[in-house]
Chain A
C-alpha cells in the first residue's frame, strides 16, 4: 500500500502542533514515515503524555508508609497488612462514552479491570462516577441507558462486584458526559507485577484477543474537543468482549504463578505502541516488533493500523524464554492467542517490521522521555461574588425538591443493573454510602468511595478539590474504615484556556493539601482534558476515589436505625448555603462560595468516629443537601421516621464540612457527647428517630409519601 505523504494537514489531523512536529524532526533528524508519525501522535497526545498536567501532578503527595507503588504503573499498590495489598485506579472513558455509550462505558470498565490484573491482582470491587447533562436534554436519557447497560454488561459478565459510585446531572455535561471507572484488586504484597522489561533478547509475547481496526486513533480522539462532526468519530470507539477479558485475567494470573512473567503491560490507549514503549522505556531497553507475527482478525492491516489499534483484551509480556512452553499451555487452556512478536534489544531503538520492511525505527527513550511538556498559562479563578439572600423555605418542601430530583433521588434504577454480590464477599452494596468488600478468606474488609462536588470546584477550585478528598475521607470514616489512599480522575475542559488551566491548578492544590492532612496519598490517577463541546466546558470534575481498611467485618458501622435512637450531629454547623444543593435544585441558583474545608476539623471528627465506633448504631456523612437529606436517607433506609427539632433552612440545608450524623441509643449518646467534648469535637443532639413521619421543626410529611417520591423519581425522570 502507498503510504500517504507527510503534509501539514496530515500532521494536524494527528493532533500534533507545528512545534511538536519540529521536535520530532529534531529527535530523528529526518522526516518520519507514516507509521512513525502515527506512533508519535499516539505517544504525544494529551491522553497518553499528560503534557499539560504533568507539571502539576508532580506536586501531589504520593508517598507514605502504606504506599507500595505510587503513580506511574498501571495502578497504585497499597499495603493492607498480613502480606496483602490492594491495587486500584480510576480512569475516564468520557469521549468514547459520549460517542457510543454502551461500548464506550463497557470498554472503560474493561480497561480499568485490565490495569488492575496486569499488576497481578484479582479485581474484587468496581465503582463508577457518572456525570450527565440535564435530564431534559435530548441526548441524556439514551446516554444514561447506554452507559449504565454498558458498565453492567461488562462488569457483570467479568464477575466483579460494583459496590459504589455516583450519578449526577447538570447542564454543563450536556455535550460531554463523564464516565469514570474505578477498580480495585487484591494481591500478595510480594507478588506485584510491573511493566519494566529486563534482559536483552527476551521474547516479547502478545496475548489475548486478536488485533482489528477498532479504536485506531482513539487516544488522539480523546484528546480533542467535540464539534458537530462527532458522529463521524464512532469508528474510533473500541468494542469490548468481557468474556475474553475474564479468560485473559484467569490466564494472566495463572501464568504469573508459574514465574514465567518478567514484565507485563496491558494494551490500553494507543495499544501496541504505548505498551511496548512503556516496557522498553522503564527497563532502559529497546524493542523490536515483527508485525507479521501479530494475531489479526482483519486482512490487509497496515503497520500504522496495527500500531494504533485499540482492540480490547490484549496484553504484552516479556517472558522468561525457558518457560515459553509452560506459558503457551496456559493460554491454550483458556483458548487465547499467544504469539511471540518480538524481542528486547540493547540499543535504544523501537523497530517495527512488517512485510519484510522496516516501517518505523525510532529512538525509544525519546518517545516517552522527550514528549512535550507544557507549562500552560493559567489564571486563578476569581473569588465568587457574595451570595444573594436565600429565601426561607418550608423544610419539607425543600426536602421534596431534593429527593424528587434525579441528582438526589434513590438510584436503584442504576445500581440494580450492576452485579454487586458476585464473589460473595460484599458486605455493603450500593445505595448506602461507601461500598464494603471483605478481603476474601479473612475478617478484614475494604471500603470504597468516589466523591466530588463539581459546583464547589467551579466556584472555588482549591476548596472544591480539598472538599472532594474530605468527603471521600468522611464516607470511608462513616462505615468505620481508616482511609488509606486515593486515586484521582481529573476531568476538565480545554487546558489551553487559562481559566480552565486555573481550575485545574487550583483543584490540584486543594487535593494535595487534603491528601497530606488526611494521610491519603495519591497512588494512581488519570487526567481527561478537552471535555468541551463547541467551546462549552464541563464543570471541573476532579473525581476522588478512595480506599479504606476495616480491621474486622465486626467493626463496620451500620446504617440501621430504629425507633427511639437519638440523632447526633458531629461537627460545627454555620449554615453555609453557597453552592448548595438547595440553591441549585429549589432556586435554580449556583452562587456563593464553596464551603470552607477545615482539614484539622475533618481529621479530628474522623478520628473521633473511628475511636467510638462501638457506641454508634448508624452513621452517615453530611454532604450535598446537608442534615435534611442525610437524616432522611438514614431514616428511610430503615423504614422509620425522624424528627429534627430545628426547622431553620441554613441549619437543615447548609453544607458545612467535617460533619456526620450519628444514631445512637440514649446511653451511648450520652457517652458520645462526653467523649466528643473531651476530644474537642463539636457534637449536639438534634432530634430522634422513630414514628412514621419526617418532621423538621414544625413541618411534617409521612415517611411513606416521601419514600415513594424518593424511590420513584429517578425512573420517573427517565421514562
Chain B
C-alpha cells in the first residue's frame, strides 16, 4: 500500500499516523500543504490530527482551502481512499467530502480520555478488521468533536449504513453518538478518535491496529 500523509503547519499527529501506516507495511510519503499535487500512485491519503492552521476561524476551515486539499478532493472524487482523523475529520467535513460539521464539545472543554467505541459497520475497507457490534477502546483528544448534521443527513447516514463508529458513552454531545462516518462510496472515513494512538502494546491498548492492518492488506499494491 502506498499512503500519503498531509502535513499542515499545525498538524501534530502527522508523524503518528504515518508510523501506524508504516507499521502495517505501507510505503508512506509525507505531503506538504502547499503542494498542489499528490505523489503519483497513492492508494490512500491520511489527513492527520492537530491544529492545521491553529484552529483559527473554524477548525479545519483554512486547511480546507489549502492547495493540497484540492488535490485530495480530486483524488477522492476519482475513487481514492481518504482517512481523516480528528482535525482531519474536521477538514473533510469543511471540504464537503463528508457531510455534517463538528461543533464545540457539549461540555465546552477539551476532552482527552480513552473511550469505548462501537463498530457500527464492518462494511468498509477501514472497518473490515472488526465485527459490527464490537466494542473497542480508542483515545480521543479534541475540543470540537460534537458531530452535527440535519435530520435528513442523519437518516441518510443511518439508512446507508455509513456510520462507522459510535461512542458507548458520548463524551462530546455528538448526535446519535456518532464518532466516525463514511462517504457515499465508503472510501472516505472521518473519525474523531485516534486509532494511531492505540496501535501497539506500549500505548496500553491495540484496538486501533486492526484498521491499519486491514487497510494495508486490502489496498496492497500489486
Q: A residues within 8 Å of B by Cβ? A: 149, 152-153, 156-159, 241-244, 246-247, 250, 334-335, 412, 415-427, 438, 553
In the complex, besides A156-B112, A416-B111, 19 extra interface pairs with C-beta distance below 8 angstroms are: A149-B110, A156-B110, A157-B54, A241-B54, A242-B54, A246-B51, A250-B9, A416-B110, A417-B110, A417-B112, A418-B110, A419-B112, A421-B141, A421-B197, A421-B203, A422-B13, A423-B16, A424-B194, A424-B197
Identify which of residues 146-205 in chain B touch chain A, using a CB-to-CB cut-off of 8 Å: 194, 196-197, 199, 202-204
Docked-complex contact B141 and A427, CB < 8 angstroms:
no
B10 at the interface (CB under 8 A from A): yes
When A241-B54, A242-B54 are in contact, do A427 and B16 touch as well, CB less than 8 Å? no
Q: Which of A412, A415, A421 has the most CB of B within 10 A?
A: A421
B207 at the interface (CB under 8 A from A): no
Docked-complex contact A157 and B203, CB < 8 angstroms:
no
Identify which of residues 1-43 in chain B touch chain A, using a CB-to-CB cut-off of 8 Å: 9-10, 12-13, 15-16, 19-20
The CA-CA distance from A553 to B200 in the complex, in Å, is 12
Chain B residue contacts of A426, Cβ below 8 A: 197, 203
Docked-complex contact B111 and A417, CB < 8 angstroms:
yes
Docked-complex contact B109 and A149, CB < 8 angstroms:
yes
Docked-complex contact B12 and A159, CB < 8 angstroms:
yes
Residue of B nearest to A413 (CB): B109
Docked-complex contact A334 and B12, CB < 8 angstroms:
no
Chain A residue contacts of B110, Cβ below 8 A: 149, 152-153, 156, 416-419
Docked-complex contact A159 and B141, CB < 8 angstroms:
no
Chain B residue contacts of A438, Cβ below 8 A: 202
Residue of A nearest to B7 (CB): A250
Docked-complex contact B112 and A421, CB < 8 angstroms:
yes
The CA-CA distance from A424 to B143 in the complex, in Å, is 19
Chain A residue contacts of B60, Cβ below 8 A: none
Chain B residue contacts of A412, Cβ below 8 A: 113
Residue of B nearest to A428 (CB): B204
Pairs of residues from A and B, 5 with the lowest C-beta to C-beta distance, nearest first? A159-B12, A243-B54, A424-B16, A157-B51, A419-B141
Residue of B nearest to A445 (CB): B202
Distance in Å from the Cβ of B134 to the closest Cβ of chain A?
21
Q: B residues within 8 Å of A by Cβ? A: 9-10, 12-13, 15-16, 19-20, 49-51, 53-56, 109-113, 139, 141, 143, 194, 196-197, 199, 202-204
The CA-CA distance from A345 to B109 in the complex, in Å, is 51
The CA-CA distance from A335 to B33 in the complex, in Å, is 12
Chain B residue contacts of A156, Cβ below 8 A: 51, 110, 112, 141, 143
Docked-complex contact B113 and A159, CB < 8 angstroms:
no
Docked-complex contact B204 and A427, CB < 8 angstroms:
yes
Distance in Å from the Cβ of A713 to the closest Cβ of chain B?
18
Chain B residue contacts of A424, Cβ below 8 A: 13, 15-16, 19-20, 194, 196-197, 199, 203
Docked-complex contact B112 and A243, CB < 8 angstroms:
no
Q: Which of B50, B112, B139, B197 contacts A159 (CB 8 A)?
A: B50
Residue of A nearest to B55 (CB): A157
Distance in Å from the Cβ of A423 to the closest Cβ of chain B?
7
The CA-CA distance from A495 to B50 in the complex, in Å, is 43
The CA-CA distance from A152 to B143 in the complex, in Å, is 10
Q: Which of B10, B50, B194 has the most CB of A within 10 A?
A: B10
The CA-CA distance from A420 to B194 in the complex, in Å, is 12
Chain A residue contacts of B141, Cβ below 8 A: 156, 419-422
Docked-complex contact B10 and A246, CB < 8 angstroms:
yes
Docked-complex contact B9 and A422, CB < 8 angstroms:
no
The CA-CA distance from A10 to B50 in the complex, in Å, is 47
Docked-complex contact B202 and A417, CB < 8 angstroms:
no
Q: Which of B9, B15, B19 contacts A334 (CB 8 A)?
A: B9
The CA-CA distance from A394 to B9 in the complex, in Å, is 57
Residue of B nearest to A145 (CB): B109
Q: Which of A158, A241, A244, A425 contacts B12 (CB 8 A)?
A: A158
Residue of B nearest to A415 (CB): B112
Distance in Å from the Cβ of B32 to the closest Cβ of chain A?
8
The CA-CA distance from A250 to B14 in the complex, in Å, is 13
Docked-complex contact B12 and A243, CB < 8 angstroms:
no
Chain B residue contacts of A157, Cβ below 8 A: 10, 12, 50-51, 54-55
Chain B residue contacts of A427, Cβ below 8 A: 202-204
The CA-CA distance from A424 to B56 in the complex, in Å, is 25
Chain A residue contacts of B199, Cβ below 8 A: 424
The CA-CA distance from A546 to B163 in the complex, in Å, is 45
Docked-complex contact A421 and B51, CB < 8 angstroms:
no
The CA-CA distance from A152 to B55 in the complex, in Å, is 14
The CA-CA distance from A469 to B150 in the complex, in Å, is 56
Docked-complex contact B51 and A242, CB < 8 angstroms:
yes
The CA-CA distance from A419 to B111 in the complex, in Å, is 8
